[in-house]
Amino acid sequence: MARVPDGRSAGGRARDARSARGRARGDRSARPDRAGAPDRAGAADRSGRGASPVDPREAAREICLRQLAIRPRTRAELATAMRKRGVDDEIATEILDRYDEVGIIDDAAFARAWVSSRHHGRGLSRRALAGELRRKGVSSDEVGEALEQVAPDVEEETARALVVRRLRVESRSTPEVAFRRIVGMLARKGYPPGLAIRLVKEAMSERDAEAAEFAEAVDPDALADATYDPDAG
Tens of pLDDT along the chain (233 residues) come to 444 445 455 555 555 555 555 554 555 554 544 444 444 444 444 444 555 678 999 999 999 999 999 999 999 999 999 999 999 999 999 999 999 999 999 999 999 999 999 999 999 999 999 999 999 999 999 999 999 999 999 999 999 999 999 999 998 999 999 999 999 999 999 999 999 999 999 999 988 888 888 888 887 766 666 545 444 44
pTM of the model: 0.70
107-122 helix and 152-169 helix, angle to the nearest 10 degrees: 40
DSSP string, 52-118: -PPPHHHHHHHHHHHHHHHS---HHHHHHHHHHTT--HHHHHHHHHHHHHHTS--HHHHHHHHHHHH
H/E stretch holding 33: none
Give the pLDDT of residue 212: 86
